């Protein structure tokens, strides 16, 4: 085991790399050991990029930058101007990049130890791309400047975009995301929260995907019969559901195929999640159900009863009589035929 120096112990001395690595505990993780997400703080107006003629200006600001194996660099700058836009190309547009850089000669062999902003001029092209800083550079992007093929790169033609600007938060903080890259990025731990600005709603990482309360998910119910023998065969069955708090909304459709076996006695469909039980809440919930078979439309109900252990039953009217109804099965309310469809929708309380 290799011992290290914990922070703020008396009589210990620390080198800069030790301190930066310990600062990683203060910044949002990136999913790697000792790694952190670099960026400016959400809501921080610092490091705003603008144009004054062809002069690029960056306001004062503070940010964190990271490098694999090096920990967190904390940087702050007064207002700066990283340079002047080059003249526009006569035929092609280009994209320039403005970024915050930390120079650390121990990492980049630059011979410098400082922080500043940099203007990196892009390459004119029919399909211009954002230029990439050198592989050894420690940096975060602040903005891109789109320079069209006419206008000389002045403010009348060149435009600043902050879509590339990256933000970061403390561990457990809610990260606002808007860029395509950030929205597509997986979470780093189950229960992580973020605010998706494209959807204008909070989302949570469930271990495999980002979701928001109320998002619809696919669910394939299991088709069974009380007396056994039921199978969907070449028929189809699908449903969608979502949960908001303890409220579950569930709807779906089943189509009878030529090899579907209706089994014996009433039909069951497995539910996407169990139903709440207990005094005052564990009662049967009903929703609309529709059975279309052989040109006949049998209106009915889908019934969710906690006593059925997570299975829903289907009930349909069998005649004009006000008292005529039965559980749907291979023979009720009519003999099962290929192409018959059952649709249902129900709301119930989950545990």
68-90 tens-digit pLDDT: 999 999 999 999 999 999 999 98
Under DSSP, the state recorded for 40 is: B
CA proximity to 86, closest of 139, 128, 143, 145: 145
Instruction: Express as a percent the part of the chain with pLDDT over 90.
Output: 80
pLDDT of residue 78: 96
User: Which DSSP string corresponds to 187-246?
Assistant: PSSTT-EEEETTTTEEEEE-SS-EE-TT--EEE-PPEEETTS-EE-TT-EEEEEEEEETT
CATH architecture under which domain 217-349 falls: Sandwich (2.60)
188-205 tens-digit pLDDT: 999 999 999 999 999 999
Instruction: Express as a percent the part of the chain with pLDDT over 70.
Output: 97
Under DSSP, the state recorded for 89 is: P
Contact 332, 342 (CB under 8 A): no
pLDDT of residue 100: 98
245-281 tens-digit pLDDT: 899 999 999 999 999 999 999 999 999 999 998 888 8
**Residue in this structure with the two tokens 């910044």, named with its chain if needed:** 27
Mean pLDDT of 221-243: 96
pLDDT of residue 282: 80
Measure CA 284 to chain center: 35
- Is the pLDDT at 322 greater than 70, yes or no? no
- Interatomic CA distance for residues 15 and 52, integer angstroms: 42
Mean pLDDT of 178-184: 93
Mean pLDDT of 180-184: 93
292 exposed, middle or buried (CB, 10 Å; 0-12, 13-18, 19+)?
middle
User: Which DSSP string corresponds to 129-170?
Assistant: ------TT-EEEEEEEEEE-SSSTTSTTT-EEE-TT--B---
The confidence band for 155, taking pLDDT boundaries of 50, 70 and 90, is low
- Is the pLDDT at 126 greater than 70, yes or no? yes
Contact 88, 149 (CB under 8 A): yes
Contact 121, 131 (CB under 8 A): yes
Q: What is the pTM of this model?
A: 0.75
The confidence band for 39, taking pLDDT boundaries of 50, 70 and 90, is very high
pLDDT of residue 321: 55
CA distances from 4 to 1, 174, 188 (A): 10, 31, 26
- Interatomic CA distance for residues 161 and 152, integer angstroms: 18
Adjacent-strand bridge partners of 119: 98
pLDDT of residue 260: 97
The confidence band for 320, taking pLDDT boundaries of 50, 70 and 90, is low
Contact 303, 345 (CB under 8 A): no
The maximal CA–CA distance of the chain, rounded, in angstroms, is: 93
The set of residues, in sequence order, having a beta carbon less than 8 Å from that of 172 and lying 6+ positions away, is: none
Give the chain's mean pLDDT: 92
In the chain, what is the straight-line distance between the N-terminal and C-terminal CA atoms, in Å? 47
Q: Show the CA angle centred on residue 131, arms to residues 126 and 135, nearest 5°.
A: 145
User: And the tokens for 66?
Assistant: 């990271």
pLDDT of residue 104: 96
pLDDT of residue 14: 87
pLDDT of residue 194: 96
User: Which DSSP string corresponds to 9-24?
Assistant: -TT----HHHHHHHHG
- Is the pLDDT at 151 greater than 60, yes or no? no
Under DSSP, the state recorded for 308 is: G
**Residue in this structure with the two tokens 């809501």, named with its chain if needed:** 43
């Amino acid at each position: 085991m290799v011992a290290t120096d914990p922070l703020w112990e008396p009589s210990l001395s620390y080198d800069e790399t030790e301190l930066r690595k310990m600062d990683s505990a203060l910044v949002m993780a990136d999913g790697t050991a000792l790694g952190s997400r670099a960026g400016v703080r959400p809501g921080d107006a610092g490091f705003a990029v603008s144009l004054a003629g062809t002069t690029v200006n960056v306001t004062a600001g503070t940010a964190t930058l990271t490098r694999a194996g090096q920990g967190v660099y904390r940087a702050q700058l007064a207002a700066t101007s990283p340079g002047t836009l080059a003249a526009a190309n006569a035929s092609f547009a280009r994209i320039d990049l403005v970024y915050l850089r930390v120079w650390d000669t121990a990492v980049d062999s630059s011979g410098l130890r400082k922080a500043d902003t940099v203007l990196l001029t892009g390459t004119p092209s029919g399909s211009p791309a954002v230029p990439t800083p050198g592989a050894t550079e420690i940096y975060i992007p602040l903005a891109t400047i789109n320079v069209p093929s006419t206008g000389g790169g002045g403010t009348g033609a060149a435009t600043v975009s902050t879509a590339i600007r990256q933000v970061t938060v403390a561990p457990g903080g809610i990260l606002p995301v808007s860029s395509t890259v950030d929205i597509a990025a997986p979470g780093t731990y189950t229960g992580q929260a973020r605010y998706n600005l494209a959807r204008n709603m909070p989302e949570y990482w469930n271990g495999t995907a980002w979701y928001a309360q109320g998002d619809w998910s696919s669910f394939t119910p299991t088709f069974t019969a009380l007396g056994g023998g039921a199978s969907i065969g070449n028929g189809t069955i699908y449903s969608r559901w979502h949960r908001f708090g303890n409220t579950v909304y569930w709807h779906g459709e089943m189509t009878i195929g030529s090899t579907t076996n209706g089994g014996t006695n009433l039909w069951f469909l497995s539910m996407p999640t169990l139903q709440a039980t207990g005094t005052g809440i564990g009662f049967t919930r009903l929703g609309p159900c529709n059975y279309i078979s052989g040109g006949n439309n049998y209106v009915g109900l889908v019934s969710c009863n906690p006593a059925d252990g997570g299975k829903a039953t289907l009930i349909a009217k069998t005649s004009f009589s006000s008292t005529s109804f039965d559980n749907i099965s291979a023979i009720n309310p009519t003999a099962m035929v290929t192409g018959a469809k059952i649709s249902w929708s129900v709301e119930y309380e989950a545990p």
